[in-house]
Amino acid sequence: MKKTRSVMAALALTTVALLNGVGTAQADPVDSPSSSAAAAAPDGYLYAWEHAGFTGAWCRWAGDDPNWSTCQGAGPVINLRNKASSLKNRGYTGAYEDVDLFWDNADDAEGWDGTRTCMRNGLELDNLTGIYYPYDGRPGQGQSLNDNISAHRWSNNC
């Protein structure tokens, strides 16, 4: 009788744990890059979303990209050039962990000629409104980052 109660108690605890999701939190960054569990884990990518709050169409990059007009998200290749409103840098800690974000109004493949700002590793920006490029004498200085990023390059210089 005592053994039966122990088995029943263990079964009840297991059922409660499964219903509450204990031990089941796993994040797949391709399916849910905006989830809070995924946000904490570096995966080597820079993420950009079309809208504030990590919503809308999104893209991710493991390497440099001089022109955000073609990028890969969960579905087909899309254009996020000068359309991003939120970002996450989930690069790996170490060399080339930061990301330089570039302003460029030319429709060319070399988007690294305008002003730039650096996004530190692990930083998440849910709304780019009110964040501006620095005044550095280059085209685009002082412009808002919101809907104004055309390229990026991984760097060590933040």
Domain ranges of the chain: 44-155
- pLDDT averaged over every residue in the chain: 77
State how far the Cα of 30 lies from the Cα of 82, in Å rounded to an integer.
22
Mean pLDDT of 99-114: 78
**pLDDT tens across 114-155, in order?**
899 999 999 999 999 999 999 999 999 999 999 999 999 999
Q: Whose CA is closest to 118, among 97, 137, 148?
A: 97
pLDDT band at residue 73 under the 50/70/90 scheme: confident
* pLDDT score of 152: 94
Q: Where are the beta strands (DSSP E) in 52-147?
A: 55-61, 86-90, 98-102, 116-119, 124-125
* pLDDT score of 120: 97
State how far the Cα of 27 lies from the Cα of 115, in Å rounded to an integer.
35
* pLDDT score of 64: 93
Classify domain 44-155 by CATH architecture.
Sandwich (2.60)
State how far the Cα of 68 lies from the Cα of 81, in Å rounded to an integer.
4
